[in-house]
Amino acid sequence: MPDLKITGNVHRRPDSFSIRYLLAGRLQELVIPSPAARPERRNALWEETCFEFFLAMKDSGPYWEFNLSPAGHWNAFRFESYRQGMREETAVDSLPFMVERSADALLLSLELDLGRIVPAHVPMNAGISAVIKHTDGCLTFWALSHPGTHADFHRRESFIIGM
């Protein structure tokens, strides 16, 4: 496996959530989708290199999954409970985010209007993760926390950032 590092930061304001990912290392050993001429909402982005985050209101069952492809494609899903009741979140009709690339780094940043899905000042928890596809076809799963025996970004115990 190539020598990689993923860092970043998140910031919550009453009506917004911003996130920044920095993937650094031997990127030539990864499959990173090329920029799309027309980024769009797409399914199954996690089958390729994809950056993800999960948001949930504290002490509440429903949660959201956000997928961001380096190509510019995106999706947002709402779940009623752990992996149940999945549907596209229609309150989010676009996720414009920035992607910057160099030979050894990829920077992805987004500011999300939280007011579309939750009232201001509601305490929330976040889980941050990524799926990285290597040139040999292998997928690796990165997260701030993997509380189970295998990678499962939907587990609420992995939503370790309180906001």
Percentage of residues in the chain having pLDDT higher than 90: 91
Is residue 4 within 8 Å of 132, Cβ to Cβ?
yes
Distance CA 145, CA 155 (A): 10
Q: What is the pLDDT of residues 73-111, one digit of tens each?
A: 999 999 999 999 999 999 999 998 999 999 999 999 999
Confidence of residue 2 (pLDDT cuts 50, 70, 90): low
Give the global pTM.
Answer: 0.96
Could you tell me whether strands 105-113 and 97-101 are parallel, antiparallel, or unpaired per DSSP bridges?
A: antiparallel
pLDDT of residue 130: 98
pLDDT of residue 64: 98
Complete domains list, the chain, with CATH: 4-162 (2.60.40.1190)
